[in-house]
Structure 1
């Protein structure tokens, strides 16, 4: 995975695409010692005709993704340090998002919190302050705005020129008018790039081809899950109100203006205004039919303007900026750029074709940050920024069909400026993946949300009578979305009786073969050399000690292990490292799982099996193959909710029978089906971490409170050397448990944590703890603030909620309820 430093001067890299990403990557690689770097593009340089050549250059840093914010922040810093012909490549005019509806105004308060969490300067303004920044605004239509003074305009083509010059100064070469026609490979490794001007031998090939990514991917036999779509951009005639205002060389002086309630943005072009619109119908483009540069009327990425699509946006623009009423659209085009099913980039090295990398679906906003991450990945084996949200392995097989990519890519375009709730599920295509229990869940009135294509019950309307009379604090409109008081009732039944949880979406991997134990010992942190029947919680680390994932590993036989994992990336990681005598496969689609948890779990399960399920015979963190009624199961004595119980696994064909068997037997014990909403509350009461939310590759086990899962004495394992000298005592930051002081207060995650009024961290996971009667939040804080009893505040939609650092776990710290 890692290219040693001594090889960088000899390793041959070919980057396909000389847009902003390709040029940035060549600069980043050569700055790290790579010398044999060639950048190819089918168009003329420095404006080869891709998305970069028409990009309006908006850079807004703030969003719900910490990763994307860090990419944008680096882009601002880097481009701000570059200049061409005496002009900087980034113009910090700032950004102004305005609200014309109450829902948007509330969302801007949330975004102000996100900005504080990620370290971006931002300030909420009233309508008068907004008009002062943008005098053309109709003040009467504006409720307020969010001003981010460090955002601004990237001059994309000059930025390409500046980075090309730096990379060329270190030995890189840029070749325009070179059309890629093939990718050469041998034994699963890339060996070269074929063009209409000959073959370029390569040890690494990076596809930074933008909306042509699927075309390049097809030449390599690697699917690239993105959809090119056209986006409308128009420029007005000269406006008298702007005459003499702006320096023609700088073009703009006022902030970029976003009117997201109408899917619009505005920027100045000297005495004109540019208007971008996402309000029109999706306009997909087939990348395989895009004309070559010389065959395109303007350039390949610039399609004819469809005035009828823009007409509603023009009316909305005039409504917000009345001065436009005396003007007109002077120029316009439909510009092509890339969307993925989840709106995020596609980054990383293909496992099926080693040495072939993707840096696709990247906008100018994040270009330099993405390039830095990919260069670090190629140079050091990992990026410094966690990129699991962007990793090319993140999509499930069910999410890679052309139909899915087309449907979800188009929806990503529609949702660019939508207010998206963190729990908001996809609308289509659903249902895509269902567990065998789905018919029974429908009968019980399950409220389904979606993740990874799976239909996941969050609560069941059949349990509504149990929620009657519960004394719960009233929720605000935001935290009440995708929530029901029924979740509190389901949590209570889990604590008091017994509940069934559908755990089928939990990823299951099987590792077998004569080298299975040695392989897993090398890959994970905990001691797995235990007798068959043992279950162990352990971690996957990268070379620097960052947490790639957490696993539960059940040793079912000497050479047979079942792993509870998190994402497709875990399978990819293990397959990359597995020796020939080890077989790793994903068994999730053909299996299912029910969690049976609660004080009466043993009373429910024991009569259904001839095996002894007593604590002495079947202890905590043990596994057993048995039968539940007529159904063969693999039973794991685990509990993510802090109660007695088992995870029961069987094949998908027998899943419905397993559910019905448990359901019938549970009636005398008051069993209910419970959903993910109750599950999340219960797991936070126990302090159980969720990878990807609470910890990522940016954190080590000791910082995350998972040092108990690290056993350096067992021998070498991936990341062990990097952890030498580290401990919980040396950690300078910690994942910290907070409880909100006001029992009526709620937060959902990603809120800034303030100490003495200054942001010092951010919330990772949060949920109302129904057993405790208050909201629980986990947050990353400096170690000096992670001391039990420390008072902090959480900023939630502009409100300051007092919270206190708590000793964890909050519930059953002696584990008496699980071990009984």
Structure 2
């Protein structure tokens, strides 16, 4: 048989990501892989060369936990000359404050949700695991036996050897000086030792990623920062150590510190110091760093003044350190992004140019597998939307933003972060035209995608008195929440409310091929007359849900698409033919949701067009005027009440708000925020993409089969859906039994005493008087089935419910 020709791949960077990627690609048959490294192998001087190797798998991100779990699995199978690449010494996270101890219970919940073995233990058990601890300082800990230490340089060598055996080549002391392109595709790279042709180029250059990206004309929004790491002198208590490490890796997060053994010494890392940003364009190459007396380019001089407070905390926790000093230390450079997640995927601006950046050793093998699958098979086997290079808005890509947010990510590495907690700076960045009125009404703003988003309005505080007794909330559930949200939800159900929907992404799709294009890419039937609005799904080739869209056909060749993220725009642009034009109109437009039983009473007097049910049916669109303001009105509702989304241009937004506000005074109109909005949409069972379902889930598993028309002409994912077996898991509605109980999302769900799934979205249903939680659980659970949701270590009883929980006859929407 003739030898199959595989694509030519250049990987820039032979750190842990580059070596892992070469191994994963060659294992899948792509053997024409060249890894170029500017430094010497096996330790070329990037972040991998100094990494302490701590692998803690558990965190709030299911994606990162799965990356880390694969890294442990893979490295545990590797060795070099009999020396293992991973030591499963376990992990121990300590609590010295009640707040941290509560958070460790939350982390134990994450572990159960994501399939990691771990338990919260008492101070005495912590002392057994780490005898050098001062037990009186410790309240408890979270012990994960399967975590441990990765020998990163050895893991590089083991994977390098396997990749080379399959045909890959590794060339050190080759500095990439340029990225070649032609007709929007990468064609190779220039180096100081010649040109290398390629069909794909992957930047796995670590904190040099922005440098390589600039050569390719591709934005790489990461900020390198320096991080202190020190080693003590030999400790008598560790004398005679026969192994590099035997005790669990230790986190003292209340002081932003971690510890690991180095034989008879202890290594200590600190996030407690001020952020120390590093300009990636100013980091010297290996030989220049060595000439300047530095061990490697990623190793900066130890700043003693930053270390003193941390050293005092170290000695407080580990009394044995009071009799010794620091023997050596350095400030090691590694990468942070504005949201703390990696940067993965192919650039649309330069096809064939991929990023595998901002990746720590912890997640390295998992990331490499995902990127290799993406390149070879066209998609990763797990959801990586929160790592996608396209996820940031344009407003989030400025160097100033990346530096500020990246630095804040460093500060918050070990902080207890509430799921609703926004970044503090730079704010406000993006505001809707209604922002001045929202401020006047005392809006409590949180932030998403750079947008200021009202969650409730202090102006509605007097409405709380009419609610009766609301269940008291625990400290965690009470953060970024107010009983005003309950009043706003009730006002929406009983009267009418204005919701700022401006942050929802809006795309304009036009051209002779627009209908065919959208119909081919999505699951529902879009071949309807102008004026129709359709809820549909953007699927991948495996039938997984890439996104959900609301498509309004405004004219024969004119569509307005309600989308979720910049990735949706990127996907459509990648696939659009020449006769289709796509434009993001979000920033130039705005939207008010007018919802409630009195919505028609508010809107109808403002227009000469017929807004009756007969004249303006559900899921219809109409262009009209409200007073002096031209609007595009879509009759649909994400809160389960009569109403419209009203769109206009940003310059007329304030005029639209004021007209609606004035017209609604006699109807008792209020402004309502996202807290009430989320409660109302959960009561109706409306899904939130990225939270309730992702590309790992099919429409039938997610309860969205109604948005699939299998009898229409071919659409993306159709063949895969036909071949799929019956679902074994489904998104299942739960009601907590205790009217006072609240969960927030990502908690494990126990069925018959064992974890069987996890919560996606959750929130209190004020109309129902119960907390609503949606969870991925085994298929076929009958309504009435009892389960338990683990919330901060407490198992709360809940019951499988039948959906929709509210207004099953849809009479409130179709009146």
Q: State the TM-score, normalized to the length of structure 2.
A: 0.99
1:816 aligns with 2:814: no
Partner of 1:386: 383
In 1, the alpha carbon distance for the partners of 2:595 and 2:3 equals: 54
In 2, the alpha carbon distance for the partners of 1:701 and 1:200 equals: 44
- Aligned mate of 2:635, from 630, 634, 637: 637
Partner of 1:667: 665
- Aligned mate of 1:436, from 433, 437, 441: 433
Contact 1:90/1:153 (8 A) holds in 2 = yes
- Aligned mate of 1:623, from 621, 624, 630: 621
Partner of 1:472: 470
In 1, the alpha carbon distance for the partners of 2:304 and 2:190 equals: 40
Partner of 2:232: 236
1:456 aligns with 2:449: no
In 1, the alpha carbon distance for the partners of 2:145 and 2:508 equals: 51
Q: Secondary structure at the match of 2:281?
A: helix
Matches within 5 A, 1:524-539: 524-539=522-537
1:774 aligns with 2:774: no
Partner of 1:208: 204
1:789 aligns with 2:784: yes
1:760 aligns with 2:756: yes
Q: Secondary structure at the match of 1:478?
A: helix
Partner of 1:3: none
Q: Secondary structure at the match of 2:478?
A: coil
- Aligned mate of 1:337, from 314, 329, 334: 334
1:801 aligns with 2:800: no
Q: Secondary structure at the match of 1:714?
A: coil
- Aligned mate of 1:133, from 112, 129, 137: 129
Q: In the comparison of the two structures, how many residue pairs are matched?
A: 809
1:291 aligns with 2:284: yes
Deviations 1:90-122 (A, max 9, x none): 000000000001110110010000000000000
- Aligned mate of 2:247, from 254, 266, 274: 254
In 1, the alpha carbon distance for the partners of 2:285 and 2:105 equals: 45
Contact 1:346/1:390 (8 A) holds in 2 = yes
In 2, the alpha carbon distance for the partners of 1:153 and 1:42 equals: 27
Displacement of 1:572 in angstroms is 0.1
> Structure 1: where are the runs of 5+ without partners?
1-5
Deviations 1:6-39 (A, max 9, x none): 9974310000000000000000000000011000
- Aligned mate of 2:70, from 57, 63, 74: 74
Contact 2:494/2:597 (8 A) holds in 1 = yes
Partner of 2:273: 280
Contact 1:8/1:33 (8 A) holds in 2 = no
In 2, the alpha carbon distance for the partners of 1:613 and 1:149 equals: 63
- Aligned mate of 2:585, from 584, 587, 590: 587
Moved over 6 A (4+): none
Q: State the TM-score, normalized to the length of structure 1.
A: 0.98
In 2, the alpha carbon distance for the partners of 1:537 and 1:90 equals: 48
> Structure 2: where are the runs of 5+ without partners?
none
Q: Secondary structure at the match of 2:127?
A: helix
In 2, the alpha carbon distance for the partners of 1:497 and 1:726 equals: 45
In 2, the alpha carbon distance for the partners of 1:375 and 1:286 equals: 29
Partner of 2:675: 677
Displacement of 1:378 in angstroms is 0.1
- Aligned mate of 2:298, from 298, 301, 321: 301
Partner of 1:607: 605
In 1, the alpha carbon distance for the partners of 2:301 and 2:423 equals: 32
Contact 1:226/1:341 (8 A) holds in 2 = yes
Displacement of 1:245 in angstroms is 3.2
Q: Secondary structure at the match of 1:574?
A: helix
Deviations 1:320-357 (A, max 9, x none): 00110000000100000000000000000000000000
Matches within 5 A, 1:142-291: 142-247=138-243, 251-291=244-284
Q: Secondary structure at the match of 1:468?
A: helix
Displacement of 1:788 in angstroms is 1.2
Matches within 5 A, 1:485-524: 485-524=483-522
Deviations 1:474-513 (A, max 9, x none): 0000000000000000000000000000000000001000
Deviations 1:277-311 (A, max 9, x none): 00001111111111110111211001111111111
Q: Secondary structure at the match of 1:393?
A: coil
Q: Secondary structure at the match of 1:800?
A: strand
In 2, the alpha carbon distance for the partners of 1:246 and 1:97 equals: 25
Displacement of 1:787 in angstroms is 2.1
In 1, the alpha carbon distance for the partners of 2:640 and 2:242 equals: 63
Alignment root-mean-square deviation, CA? 0.9
Contact 1:703/1:735 (8 A) holds in 2 = yes
Displacement of 1:726 in angstroms is 3.9
In 2, the alpha carbon distance for the partners of 1:165 and 1:106 equals: 45
Partner of 2:713: 715
In 2, the alpha carbon distance for the partners of 1:537 and 1:680 equals: 19
In 2, the alpha carbon distance for the partners of 1:472 and 1:362 equals: 45
Contact 1:9/1:35 (8 A) holds in 2 = no
Is 642-651 or 295-304 further displaced after alignment?
A: 295-304
1:351 aligns with 2:358: no
Mark the CA change 1:739 to 1:7 in structure 2 (over 3 Å): closer, same or farther.
farther
In 2, the alpha carbon distance for the partners of 1:186 and 1:793 equals: 57
In 1, the alpha carbon distance for the partners of 2:667 and 2:238 equals: 75
In 1, the alpha carbon distance for the partners of 2:429 and 2:644 equals: 27
